[in-house]
Structure 1
Amino acid sequence: MDKAAIIEKINDFLIDEFEVNGDDIQPDANLKDTLGLDSLDYVDLVVTVESNFGVKLGEADFVGIATFQNFYDLIENKVKAKQ
Structure 2
Amino acid sequence: MTVEKIIEKVNRFLVDEFEVAPELISPEANLQETLELDSLDYIDMVVVLESNFGFKVKPEDFVGINSFQDFYDYVCDRVTAKELV
Please give the alpha-carbon distance, in whole angstroms, between the structure 2 residues aligned to 1:66 and 1:56.
20
Aligned residues between the structures: 83
* TM-score, with structure 2 as normaliser: 0.96
Cα RMSD after superposing both structures: 0.4
Cα distance in 2, alignment partners of residues 28 and 71 from structure 1: 11
Q: TM-score, normalised by structure 1?
A: 0.98
Q: d(CA) in 1 for partners of 2:56 and 2:72? A: 15
Please give the alpha-carbon distance, in whole angstroms, between the structure 2 residues aligned to 1:16 and 1:40.
Answer: 17
Unpaired segments ≥5 residues, structure 1: none
Seq. identity, %:
58
Q: What is the distance in 2 between the residues matched to 1:34 and 1:56?
A: 24
Q: Deviation string for 1:4-35 (max 9, x for gaps)?
A: 00000000000000000000000000000000
2 CA distance for matches of 1:63 and 1:17?
Answer: 21
Matches of 2:72 and 2:27, distance apart in 1: 8
Tell me which residue corresponds to 2:4.
4
